[in-house]
């Protein structure tokens, strides 16, 4: 019997490269933390929160995302949030994560840099011990804030340099081009941080180009609109910069009208190293496995496509080649077994037809 593609997707080891830890705050936890911290919520039930998650744009989502993270106050809150995400990863066979956090979103509420770092890293260490999930942590700058504010945060991060692997750029895109942060990213590079940025989610291909040429990013978060510029696509392929694509996010934020018109298939055809990710799963309706299943169904992707996507994520990760190898081998084993089984099934059917 051929293992159906859905079963392989569930079982295969996965790496997640585009996830905002604040975007994993499920409404149930939002209520629990609000109660623990004596914080009032503008909703009277979990259902009311879920009903509010009907977004018309990135900004429409961000307004609720920043409001939601208001409940995060203490070290324990950040631990609980991060550990709950890692439990979801374990259930989805996500074995490696490279995740963002938004320090500026918390500093404004008087949360200390130490509290968030301690909570998040304690959970990441526990997740590695309990589930074997490896990790990298990326500090993301909010692009609607000033570059100067970014420099202040970079100074605060210095005390945690050993736990912060890289820096990213997120929040409202249009009107906030990557070039606004040229000096900040140059300083981050000088301090040895790896560099990432959201670009081409709602913003034009020119923003992707700026992120590459001016900021010097090593991976493109989203990148959908790169496809509008064939020269840019050629450059991204030539430089082998991966795209961290987020199907359900794109659907919920109306970056695409429906999953059937999602550009992931075109990205793979163009030779772009696309990966599947969940972005803000508590807000967008699905974690990693769900993102795979929904996009594979919508685009009728086949075994070879899914194998490529799964491999891409490990190859675009910052695991060493040595640490990638067992996961890549396991992916190959699952797919080659499935393909062999399929071959046997087809042969059996043919011999039946002959008889």
The only residue of 202, 279, 305, 315 in contact with Zn ion, by rule CB under 5 A: 279
Under 8 Å between Cβ of 327 and 13? yes
Question: Residue 279 interacts with ligand HPA (CB under 6 A)?
Answer: yes
Geometric angle at alpha carbon 313, from 308 and 318, rounded to 5°:
140
Binds 283: which of Zn ion, ligand HPA, none (CB < 5-8 Å by kind):
none
Shortest reach from residue 277's CB to Zn ion, in Å: 8
**What is the closest distance, in whole angstroms, from the C-beta atom of residue 221 to Zn ion in the complex?**
6
Q: Please list every residue from 163 through 192 that binds ligand HPA, using CB under 6 A.
A: 170-171
The single residue among 16, 201, 305, 315 that binds ligand HPA, judged by CB under 6 A, is: 201
Positions marked catalytic: 201
Sign of the C-alpha dihedral, residues 316, 318, 320, 323? negative
Using alpha carbons, list the distances in angstroms from residue 323 to 95, 134, 319. 11, 10, 6
In angstroms, the Cα distances linking 79 to 9, 33, 75, 313 are 29, 12, 6, 26
Q: Which of 14, 16, 20, 193 binds ligand HPA (CB under 6 A)?
A: 20
- Interaction of residue 16 with Zn ion, rule CB under 5 A: no
Residue 65 vs 287, nearer CB to ligand HPA? 65
Rounded Cα–Cα distance for residues 104 and 142 (Å): 7
Report d(CA 319, CA 324) in Å as an integer.
6
204: closest CA among 229, 230, 239, 172? 229
From residue 122 to residue 151, what is the string marking binding to ligand HPA with x (rule CB under 6 A)? ------------------------------
Residues near Zn ion (CB under 5 A) are 279
Site residues for ligand HPA per CB under 6 A? 20, 23, 58, 65, 170-171, 198, 201, 249, 279-280
């Amino acid at each position: 019997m051929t293992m159906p593609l859905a079963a392989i997707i569930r079982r295969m080891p996965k790496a997640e490269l585009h996830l905002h830890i604040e975007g994993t705050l499920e409404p149930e936890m939002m209520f629990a933390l609000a109660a623990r911290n004596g914080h009032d919520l503008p909703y009277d039930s979990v259902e009311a929160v879920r009903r509010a998650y009907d977004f018309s744009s990135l900004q429409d989502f961000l307004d609720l995302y920043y409001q939601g993270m208001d409940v995060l106050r203490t070290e324990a809150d950040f631990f609980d949030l991060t550990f709950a995400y890692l439990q979801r990863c374990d259930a989805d066979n996500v074995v490696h994560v490279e995740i963002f956090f938004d320090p500026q979103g918390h500093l404004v509420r008087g949360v200390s840099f130490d509290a968030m770092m301690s909570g998040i890293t304690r959970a990441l260490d526990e997740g590695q011990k309990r589930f074997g999930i490896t990790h990298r942590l990326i500090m993301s700058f909010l692009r609607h804030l000033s570059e100067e504010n970014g420099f202040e945060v970079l100074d605060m991060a210095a005390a945690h340099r050993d736990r912060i692997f890289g820096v990213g750029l997120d929040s409202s895109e249009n009107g906030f081009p990557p070039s606004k942060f040229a000096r900040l990213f140059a300083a981050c590079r000088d301090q040895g941080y790896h560099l990432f940025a959201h670009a081409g989610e709602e913003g034009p291909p020119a923003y992707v180009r700026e992120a590459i040429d001016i900021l010097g990013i090593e991976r493109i978060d989203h990148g959908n609109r790169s496809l509008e510029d064939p020269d840019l696509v050629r450059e991204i392929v030539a430089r082998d910069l991966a795209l961290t694509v987020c199907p359900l996010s794109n659907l919920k934020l109306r970056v695409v009208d429906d999953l059937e018109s999602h550009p992931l298939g075109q990205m793979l055809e163009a030779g772009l190293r696309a990966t599947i990710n969940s972005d803000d799963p508590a807000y967008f309706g699905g974690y990693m496995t769900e993102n795979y299943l929904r996009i594979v169904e919508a685009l009728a992707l086949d075994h070879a496509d899914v194998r490529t996507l799964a491999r891409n994520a490990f190859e675009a990760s910052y695991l060493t080649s040595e640490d990638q190898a067992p996961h890549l081998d396991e992916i190959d084993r699952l797919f080659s077994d499935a393909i062999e089984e399929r071959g046997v099934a087809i042969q059996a059917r043919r011999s039946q037809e002959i008889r």
